[in-house]
Each structure stands twice: as C-alpha cells, then as structure tokens.
Structure 1
Amino acid sequence: MTRTILLPSALALASLLGAATSASSQPPKPTQTFTIQQDHFLLNGQPFKILSGELHYARIPREYWHARLKMAKAMGLNTIATYVFWNIHEPTPGHFDFTGNNDLAAFIKAAQQEGLYVILRSGPYSCAEWEFGGFPAWLLKDPAMEQTLRSNDPSFMVPTERWIHRLAQEVAPLQIGHGGPIIMTQVENEYGNFDHDHAYMEHLKTIFEQSGLTASLLYSADNWRNIPAGSIPGLYAATNFGIGNHQGGMDALAKVRPDAPLFVSEYWPGWFDHWGHPHETRPVAPQLEDLDYILHRGAGINIYMFHGGTSFGFMAGSSNISGQFLPDVTSYDYDAPLDEAGHPTPKLLAYRKILATFSPCGNESCLPPVPTAPPVITIPPITLTESTSLWQNLPTAIASETPQSMEHFDQSYGYILYRTQLPAATSGDLVLTDLHDYAQIYLDGKLTGTLDRRNKQSTLPIKTDGPARLDILVANDGRINSTKQMRIESKGITKSVTLSGTPLTGWQIYPLPMTTLPTHFNPAAKQSQAPTLRRGSFTLASTGDTFLDIRTLGKGALWINGHPIGRFWNVGPQQTLFVPGPWLRKGRNEVVVFDLLPSTTPPHLAGLAQPILDGPATDQTKSKQE
C-alpha cells in the first residue's frame, strides 16, 4: 500500500486561491510527492534511498553555506539535515529573528540550489550539544519549568505553539509538496530518552499539522534503546545509534515498526569534546562496515555529523553524565567527514566510495569532484597591548535582597556579578547553593579563590580582618542540553549564599551578557588580579580562514571585528579557535578578549594554519554515551 504524504505544488495551490480561469479548464498542475511504500520511500513515485548528512546553518557562516553544501553533494549525499535552534530565532518572548545567519529559509533554498533535499529537524527540542538543547533561556524565568519543560503543561506548550506556528511561516512553503526541498520534518527529538508522555507527542503532532507542516513526512527520532517511549502511532519513526550498533539499532526499529521503511536518522561517525577531557575521535574502518550494512538493509541514513562546524559565541552546551557537569568546547568538529573549517578528511573520501555505489551509475564518476576548500592564512603574533578592568566597565547595579539567577534579570548568556559588603571581620565557610557554573571570589578586589561546578565545588573558606567588599563573578559555561537536569538549568547563583551558616543579603547585582564591549582601553598593565578585557589589532593584506592560537589565555570569551568567536579555557583540549575568513578584512582587524584569569604579562595570539583540538587536558576520564 502506498501512503501519500504530500500536497500539490505551490503553483496548483495558487490556482485554487484565485486564478482567473477555473481549475477545471486548466491542464493538470505538476505535483511532487514523498511517500512510503512498504519498506521503502518513493520520491515522485520512484524508489528513493535517503543519503543524508547533517550540518547546522547556525554553526556555519552564511558566506560558506553553499561551499559546505557542495561538499555534501561531492561526498555522495542527496539530502542534508539540519536542526532548528529555537533560542537564536526567538531571543526574547514574541520577538523573532530570521535574518542574516539566522535566515533558515535562505539556507533551505541554498540546499535546493545545490541539488539537495532537506530533512528539517524542527524540535522544539534539539539537543545537539547546543546551549540548552536549543530552548530559549527565557523559558526558565517561569518557575513552572522545573516541572513542565518538555511536557504537555500549558506553561510549556503555549510558547511552544507560538514558536512552531511562527517557524511554519518560514518553512511550510518550502516543503516538497509545495515545490520545495523539505522531504521530512521532525517532531521533537529523542523524547524517549527524556520521558514517555505520548499525550505530549500527540499534542505536538497536532500543532505541526495545524501549522501547515503536512506537505512533508512528519516523523519522530529516538535512540534505538528508547523507540517505544518516544514514538506514537500515526507518526513515522526513525532511530539513532553509533558505531557497532547497526544490527541492534535496526532490529529495535524493525520490532516496533515491522511494516515501515528502516531509516537511521542519526548515525554517529564521531563525538564531541568537553573542556578538560581528551579530544574524541573514532576509527574509520568499523564505520564503513556499519554504513554498508545500514544502506543495504534500510531505506536510508543521516550521518550525524557530516560537518560539525563551530558553536560560536556562547552557544556550546553542556552534558550531565553520571551526575558530573561537563561543559562542551567551542569547536564542534565532531571528527566528522568534513572538518570544522570545511576541509575534506580521509573519512569523507572513504564514505564517498561507499555512497557512490548508490549513485545512478554506481561509482564515483557520477559524483561531482570534491571542491577545493577555502584558503587558510597564518597571522604573526598579536600582542594584546591594551586592557581595561571589568570593575571599570560595570553596568548599573540592580539591588536585590537575595541572589537571583541570570534568567530572573532577563539575561541568557555571559557572566553575572554579585556584590555585597561584609560589615565586620569574619572567618568561615562561604557556601554557594547552587552554583551554575564557575565562580571567582574576590575580597576588596583581590582574588581569594574559585569554585567549579565540574568538580562539585560549592564551599570556600574566607577570612577578613575587618569590613570588606565581597564580589562573586559567575560564568555561564553552557546550559545542559539533555536529561531532566535541563529543567533546573538556571545560571548564576540559583539559590543562596551563606557565610558561616548565615545567609548573606543586601546584594548589588550586575548582569554581564557581553553583548556590548568597551570602547576605551588603556595600555595593558603588567599584572592584574581583576577580570580583564584586553584588546589588540593586526593588519592583513589578504583574508582567509585561520586558527587562533589561544594558549596564552586563561578562561573567557573572544571577539574579532565584533564577531563572537567563542569561549576558551586553558584546561584543554581545544587550544585554537576557528576564525572564518569572511569575518576578517583587508587592513586593520581588532580582537577583544575577556579573560577571568590573571596574567603576569600581556598575552599574545597568532593565526595558525592548522587547528589544535587535541591539546593536553587536565581530566583524563573519557565520557562514553554510545
């Protein structure tokens, strides 16, 4: 039996809505369809095997979208998949942004121009090692989210429905039934890993349908161990797994959906990195065995990731594994076939050989040649010769009797400073409950100690000889992007501060989202205990991609020509930051660094020809989730 999913093309719909001549007197309008027939897909009535690879428009500069898509085509892919990250499109409630690098419709059209179909992973939840799994942080301002995030409760479903309806305005016309390239649209993501509320999934499916997202195949995707919990009747189901799980993963899907095509919606050829942990890579040989098995048994595959890219700015998320908080690095290279900077790897060439066997002629001669990667340049050492103390660049304080989270002040990312006066000499334990995520504690401007959530630190002994100013500077290192721990991922000091068992009150609070940088800098001091913003400049005769050497920096964030490049941290393993060539310019370029850690001399940077993603790491414990 063939089940048709799609609607007539946009041209046919237009004729129904207002053509001068009646539809009955016109020749039949062409339609495009993506359907299911028994154990395979049909595209416009012909058998179609999905050969897809994932890449995320938000992790790629817009200027490189076409280049990355051409690489996908050259590897032998006929489809690409992308998550939609809600947080970048609705940064504040009811205010939407689909411009510039957030122009999702333009990305989808670019894929179509390159001859690729699209799988739209529309959420509302993504995961993806992205900040808060793609959810906007402002959701957490509502205390109800501690119980209702990713549930059928109106506190979550009302903003979710508003978002899906707005998203549909951008993407519904681009579904294949309307002549666009979107063949599949995902509802939620790996919900079976989180819960098993089928009423929630049914409600989401209804919202998608009411939004007009029915001209492509709606589907759910779950880790192979959790398919029954996350899937619902009437919604096509796919599965996700990593290396070596090809038979078990596909068997699990076949057991739940014996009469449907077997589609591997995520196959993991690599993995992601955490600060302080060794760089993750995966061997190629077993992947080729998996790929061969999956494609000969199933209806298709989506390689997660084909190209990882970069979690620019503050968009890298965090994990919670066995109760340990593990923030992710800025690079999302993922050991993918196409590396972070868009360069083909040996893995890409090996994948290409297998994927080519499913091309029209059965070999690589049908595929476009692998394009030349963008140029790479080196930059001589850049000394950050100017600086300004954070203390000299604080915003207006907000008075609060008790500490409050970032979200309480409508802040999503960056840092937050808590300041109070200790009225007399004191000695005892300073306890921060609950600290999210990393704090530096100062007494009268002098750094006294640090507390790190990764190490479950919350207590610091302090001593003063008299009255003192207490400053607690807290860094948001990325909200957890999976598990029910997400529900309590407010940032900053989320509960209380006590000293010798007594709550501290009377705070001045300074939100520091770092959306505006200082313009006035002084010659850099030789040594400073204060958290410092530093500035330097460099001149280029020509532009190109580069890898910024950050080994002289401590912990913080970096901007070039106003573009937020990402976080750095000297715990490793990442020791360079990818800087896209389109964000550089001929002539003078400016770099600004915010560094929490003291430096005895002005630090320096340099642009390298190769990345360093596998530098020394302080914590040698690997995390295994596959």
Structure 2
Amino acid sequence: MGKWLVLVVMLLLVVVSLTLSMEAAGVTYDGRSLLIENQRKILFSGSIHYPRSTPQMWPALIEKAKEGGLNVIQTYVFWSLHEPQPGQYDFSGRYDLVKFIKEIQAQGLYVCLRIGPYIESEWTYGGFPFWLHDVPGIVYRTNNEPFKLYMQKFTAKIVSMMKSEGLYASQGGPIILSQIENEYQNIQKSFGEEGSQYVDWAAKMAVGLQTGVPWVMCKQTDAPDPVINTCNGMKCGETFTGPNSPDKPALWTENWTSFYQVYGGEPYIRSAEDIAFHVTLFIARKNGSYVNYYMYHGGTNFGRTSSAYVITSYYDQAPLDEYGLLRQPKWGHLKELHSAIKSCSATLLQGMQRNFSLGPFQEGYVFEEEGGGECAAFLVNDDNVNVFTVQFRNRSYQLPPKSISILPDCQNVTFNTATVNTKNNRRVINPVQAFSSADEWEQFLDEIPNFDETLLISNSLLEHMNLTKDKTDYLWYTIRFEHDLPCTESVLHVQSAAHVVHAFADGTYIGGAHGSHDVKSFTLQVPVTLNEGTTNISILSVMVGLPDSGAFLERRFAGLTTVEIQCREESYDLTNSTWGYQVGLVGEQLDIYQEANSSSTQWSQLGNITNQRLIWYKSVFDSPDGNDPLTLNLETMGKGEAWVNGESIGRYWISFHDSKDQPSQTLYHVPRSFLKDSGNVLVLFEEEGGNPLDISLNTVSTTNSEDNLSK
C-alpha cells in the first residue's frame, strides 16, 4: 500500500506542477508591460488581415513581418464573413482564422485578436452582417438586449473556437491579447447612460469568457478594470492620456502607417522617419511597451467588402504593400528601430524613468536601473527645422530636425529616427498580356427594367440598403410617368443619399451623377425627353460599400430621396408616386461571373464598345510564368467590378478622378492562387462605357534603380 500511496502523491505533484506551468504560460500585466510567462516584454506588432490576402500569401507576409522585427501579428475578426446568415458559419479559404493563427504560431510570433465584433476597419457595415439590421428592436452598440444577445453569441463562438484549438497563451498558444469593441468612445455620448452601461457590460462579458489573456478597449479612457485602455492614432507619444490605472501598461493598438484611401482621394504618404519618431517618443515619454502598426500589410478589399467609397487597394503605403512586397525605406528603417529598442529593452522595462530639458524644443529621457546599473537614453529634438547640439553626460550630440537619438548604453547613438540608411525602392509594372483583340472578348448587355416588369411596388421611395440586404450594390427604381399637359424644357431632378445614380428614359441613357466620401447626398439634374402619354423612367441607384462607423448605424438611409420632373410650365413631384423596384442586375441573378454559369450564358461577340453602359465583358487568358504578383491595369475602364475565375478582385472606379485629375486606383491585384495554368476567365461589369480593349495583365516587382520605373 505504501508504494501505491507514493505513486498517488507523485501523480498529484505532477498534476499540480502542470497546472502551475499552464498558469505561468498565461499572460498578465503590470504598469510597465504585458507579462508573458511572468516576463515583461516590449512588443512590436503589425496588422495583417487574413481576408485581405490569401492563405497562399500568409506564410510570406508573416515571415517578412518577423524579419522586420515584429513579435506580434494583429488582426480583426470579420463577423460579416464568418456568419453571413444567423447560425450559418464560414471559416473556409481566406476566412480560415484558425489556419492563419496557426501559421503565425508556426513562425514563432504572438497574436493580438481583435474580436470586436464591431471593427470599423473601412469594412462594409463596420464588420456587422447585414441581417442584424432586421432583428426586431435592435440598436447597435448600446445597452440593447437584442444587440447584446447576438454580440455575445458571436464573441463566445470565436473564443470557444480559439480555446478548442488551444490557441490562447494560457493553453500554450500564441494569442496574448484580445480586444472587445472598437473606438467606442467616439460615439459613446450619443447613447448617454446607456452607452456607459454597455461599456461595463461588454467588459464583464469578455472577461467572463475566461481566455486567460488580457482584454483591451482602444480609444476608451474609461475601460473598466481589468480591461486595458489603449491608444489609436499617429502620435500616441503626444496624444495618449495614459492608462487609466497605474497597474496597466501603455499600449498602442493602431499606429497608422498611412491612411485608407477613397475614390476621388489621393494616397496619404507617411514617411518612415515620422513613424519612427512617434514610436520612439511613445516608448520614451509614455513608457510604451506595445506598438502595433496599422497596417503592416493592408492587402485587398476583395469583392464588395470595402466600406463607402473606399478603394479596393487597402493601405498600400504600409511597410508591406498590397502585393506583399517590401516598401522601402519604411520596412527597413523600422527594422533598425526595432533592433535598437530591443537591445536595451530590459533596461526600459526595469529602469527608473526620468526626463529633463535639453533646450527650448529638446528633451531627454533616461531609464536607469537602481544602484547605477544599466542605462538607456533618448535625446529628442522636436524642432522641425533646425539641427540642435545638446550636452548629455559630458558629451556632445548633434540632433537632426524632428528626430530622436537612441543611446542603449547612455553613451553611444545606435539609431536616429531621422537618419535613414535603407535605400528607396520603387515598383516596376511589366505588361505580360494585352487584351487588345476584339476577337478575344464577348459581351452580355444587361437589361433596363420598366415599371411593368417589376414585382415589388410601393407608393414611396424605399430605402436602398433595406431592399438589397447588401447582396448587391444595385437597386432599380422605376416609374411610369403619364401626363397630358404641356411640358417643355423638361428636366429630371433626382436627390440621392446613395453613391451613384444612372438615369434612363424608355431604355435610353440620359445622365448620371455621384457623390463623394465627404458629401453624403448629391443631385442629378438632366434634360429628359418625354413622350406624349407615357414615359418609362428607370433610375439605377448604386452603393459603393456600406457605411462603417457612427452612432445608430442601423438607422442609416441610402437611395433616392426625392424625384421630380421639372417643366417650364410646372413641376411634377414623383417622390410619393407609385414606384416599382428590382434588386440587382440580370447578370448578377445569372451569376454570370461564375465560370460554370458563364459558359451557359448567351454571350455575343464584341460589338461597338463606345459608351456601352451596364454591359458585361468576358475574356480567357493563360497564367503568366513566374511567381511575381499580378495586377490588372484597368485604366481605360469606367466603373464596375472584376472577377477572375469567379473570384471578385474588387470594385473599380477609374472615372472618379482626384484633385490632380487622376484615377485613385488603376491597378487591381490578381492573386496567383486565383489562377489556373490556362483557361482563366476574366469577367468585367462596366457601368459607364469603359474600353476593355486597352487593359492589360502585368507583373509587379520592385527595384532600387531609378531607371524605367512605373508608379
């Protein structure tokens, strides 16, 4: 019996040891940093969103992030992708969150999982599935029982999935941090006390899921304990008011490496020097210990996933561009910064911080261990124009304008944020396939419905999103206008809260108009020829992504708001007349862009392409040799969407020019994994009369040379 007792005791000791080991493997925090396996860490993180690239791209993206000095990959969780209908889940292909996280783990990096489930992210409807809109009595993101029910259900679903795969750090997995909600303080006042109650509820709900790792709320200064409040922005070393408890660390969840771009807008170029300056300032001034680059790789808004007016390319100016290629000097300069910080990270995490003035716009920060131990220093010149020489510990240091020098030993400068050693590179775009032969194209002309052909009838102008349910960008408004009185100099006047309108009279195009990201409604005024008796007016309302932010998102109105026929003699207000509606296009109903359906559609040979509107084009091509990324140059098209082998590579809107009279985007990423060796089917839907005969398929590469460069 004695031997058995000894064995039982030994087994109990093993169980206790394993339990303690698992607890030690979890993540906690103190006022200086996250504690991973009871060790303080300075962490550099980068946002890479799994659905904005492909599984085939993930390993290389993560590898380049790791080589660039990152410890963590941060991603949102995209509710609208994963639960397209209530209780119906999709985690396949580009949506395979578990596979993405396991690839990160395989390469030895951590994960910050921003569940949300509201994410904004320039993603259509802020990441919410549109079916939420139809839940009775729902009000998003407040102390509303229907919303909280579905929010908790999805959050718990994701947490349960991560636990079942052993992916939390408390289980030995890579997830060290999770986020609940997203920049809620931006809208909290709109909900009054109900908003504050919602914040408390969301925090308690998340913590109650017992992940074994901390939760954060970004831009939420009142984040309830133990949830950590974090900073978002470009200058958190200046703007962050700090953790709301001395026991919480200073974390920066979004350091914007660029900014999202909209149709009609120009790219925002943020320099490597500016990013490095503000990262270093956050660490020096705010005791920052976690910095995430948003985005480190932006990727592509495939399909119809971008929010209102946002272009298909996402954060292309990030350290890894849309195609996953290094954008220099941004990537290399930040790599050097990370190395310099890591070389003195132990001192930064343990030493006593003090700061002092070195001049009118100059200051120093020193981290020194007690008893005269290790020492690290940051010398800051906040003057944008002048070089400044400072004296520090009996030595002289020359600081370039707007720069910070890092002295890991308080003596020698190993890095200055304004001194860039990495050479610039540029993109090279090489055409590999032209689509210039009319014989290679077929066409399918979509139909313009009349009132008599529509099945849905209403005595008012109905709201666009509520009818389309985000299944399509397109909604037809049709009316049969009858009059027997004189109507000369007739004009169709349309006020719209959608994004684009195209107007037709008896099937003939008469005009169109569009809004912009900063103008929420617009007007179309166009002459219209009226028949004696009856004229069929058909107006195509178009959305280019749904709104992604703001309070009361569920109440937003899109579509036509007023319609009038204005004559010299009198005007006819048609707003509350009898309207017929058709959701979507005929080509969409036929799934014409799917390869199987495309072959059974009655395509015809390419005809006169001049000013052809609402027309589908199809061509077939072989996959180019090599491994360089591929892109379609669509600069001669107008507006529409493109598919390759049934996969949407996104919306295009070449005709919407910026202030320099240039398209906001002409190149559209075609992932290699979308292609077969031969017989690839390209389908374009064109709204505005673009010319497919001058588009091309191109390879994308980079070079340090200044010769023969493309934008």
2:85 is matched with 92
2:359 is matched with none
2:530 is matched with 464
Distance 1:143 1:463 in 2: 44
Contact 1:239–1:266 (Cα < 8 Å) also in 2: yes
Secondary structure of 1:305 counterpart: strand
**Quick check: 1:239 aligned with 2:248?**
no
1:290 deviates by: 1.5
1:596 deviates by: 0.5
Q: Which letter maps to 1:531? A: L
Secondary structure of 1:80 counterpart: strand
**Quick check: 1:353 aligned with 2:351?**
no
1:201 is matched with 199
Identify the match of residue 39 of structure 1 among 32, 41, 45. 32
1:41 deviates by: 2.0
Distance change (3 Å), C-alpha of 1:47 and 1:354: same
2:432 is matched with 379
1:283 deviates by: 1.7
Secondary structure of 1:329 counterpart: coil
**Quick check: 1:532 aligned with 2:615?**
yes
Distance 2:696 2:143 in 1: 50
**Quick check: 1:279 aligned with 2:267?**
yes
Distance change (3 Å), C-alpha of 1:204 and 1:22: farther
Pairs within 5 Å for 1:153-232: 153-172=144-163, 173-196=166-189, 197-210=195-208, 212-222=209-219, 227-228=220-221, 231-232=223-224
1:4 is matched with none
RMSD over aligned Cα atoms: 3.0
1:370 is matched with none
Count of matched residue pairs: 562
Identify the match of residue 694 of structure 2 among 598, 604, 620. 604
2:422 is matched with none
Secondary structure of 1:540 counterpart: coil
1:193 deviates by: 0.9
**Quick check: 1:149 aligned with 2:140?**
yes
Identify the match of residue 301 of structure 2 among 291, 303, 311. 311
1:100 deviates by: 1.5
Distance 1:247 1:160 in 2: 33
Distance 1:530 1:73 in 2: 47
Question: TM-score, with normalisation over the residues of structure 1?
Answer: 0.83
Distance 1:430 1:393 in 2: 18
Contact 1:141–1:410 (Cα < 8 Å) also in 2: no
Secondary structure of 1:566 counterpart: strand
Q: Deviations over 1:49-84 (max 9, x none)?
A: 121111100101111111111011000011110011
Secondary structure of 1:603 counterpart: helix
Secondary structure of 2:242 counterpart: helix
Contact 1:337–1:345 (Cα < 8 Å) also in 2: yes
Whose Rg is larger?
Answer: 2
Distance 1:124 1:143 in 2: 20
Pairs within 5 Å for 1:484-495: 484=551, 486-489=553-556, 491-493=558-560
Contact 1:130–1:317 (Cα < 8 Å) also in 2: yes
**Quick check: 1:293 aligned with 2:290?**
no
Contact 2:432–2:624 (Cα < 8 Å) also in 1: no
Identify the match of residue 543 of structure 2 among 476, 482, 496. 476
1:422 deviates by: 2.1
Q: Deviations over 1:313-370 (max 9, x none)?
A: 111113xxxxxxxx11100134111111011122000000011224479999xxxxxx
Identify the match of residue 566 of structure 1 among 650, 657, 667. 650
Distance change (3 Å), C-alpha of 1:611 and 1:563: farther
Secondary structure of 2:525 counterpart: strand
Secondary structure of 2:170 counterpart: helix
In structure 1, runs of 5+ residues without a counterpart are 1-18, 319-326, 365-372, 613-626
**Quick check: 1:414 aligned with 2:473?**
yes
Q: More deviation in 73-82 or 150-159?
A: 150-159
Distance change (3 Å), C-alpha of 1:141 and 1:432: farther
Contact 1:141–1:408 (Cα < 8 Å) also in 2: no
Identify the match of residue 677 of structure 2 among 580, 586, 595. 586
Distance 2:647 2:12 in 1: 52
Distance 2:479 2:701 in 1: 43
Distance 1:523 1:312 in 2: 29
Pairs within 5 Å for 1:51-70: 51-70=44-63
Distance change (3 Å), C-alpha of 1:258 and 1:215: closer
Q: More deviation in 531-540 or 346-355?
A: 531-540
2:447 is matched with 391
**Quick check: 1:124 aligned with 2:117?**
yes
Distance 2:491 2:132 in 1: 33
Question: TM-score, with normalisation over the residues of structure 2?
Answer: 0.73
Identify the match of residue 457 of structure 2 among 374, 388, 400. 400
Percent identity over paired residues: 24
1:185 deviates by: 0.5
1:487 deviates by: 3.7
Q: Deviations over 1:536-590 (max 9, x none)?
A: 1222352542121001100010001111001111222111101111112212211
Higher relative contact order (CA 8 A, sep 6+): 1
Secondary structure of 2:283 counterpart: helix
Q: Which letter maps to 2:433? A: P
Distance 1:517 1:491 in 2: 27
Secondary structure of 1:582 counterpart: helix
Identify the match of residue 509 of structure 2 among 447, 471, 480. 447
1:138 is matched with 131
Contact 1:164–1:207 (Cα < 8 Å) also in 2: no
Distance 1:257 1:65 in 2: 37
Distance 1:259 1:524 in 2: 69
Q: Deviations over 1:250-302 (max 9, x none)?
A: 3x125x33442111111112111111112221122122211222234311211
**Quick check: 1:253 aligned with 2:242?**
yes
1:330 is matched with 312
Distance 1:46 1:25 in 2: 24
Distance 1:468 1:579 in 2: 43
Q: More deviation in 574-583 or 158-167?
A: 158-167
Distance change (3 Å), C-alpha of 1:137 and 1:604: farther
Distance 1:534 1:477 in 2: 20
Q: More deviation in 440-449 or 156-165?
A: 156-165
**Quick check: 1:77 aligned with 2:77?**
no
1:604 deviates by: 3.1
Distance change (3 Å), C-alpha of 1:375 and 1:560: farther
Distance change (3 Å), C-alpha of 1:279 and 1:541: closer
1:27 deviates by: 6.0
Secondary structure of 1:469 counterpart: strand
Distance change (3 Å), C-alpha of 1:465 and 1:408: closer
Distance 2:340 2:255 in 1: 19
1:609 deviates by: 3.3
Contact 2:632–2:696 (Cα < 8 Å) also in 1: yes
Distance 2:466 2:144 in 1: 21
Contact 1:192–1:231 (Cα < 8 Å) also in 2: no
Contact 2:257–2:293 (Cα < 8 Å) also in 1: yes
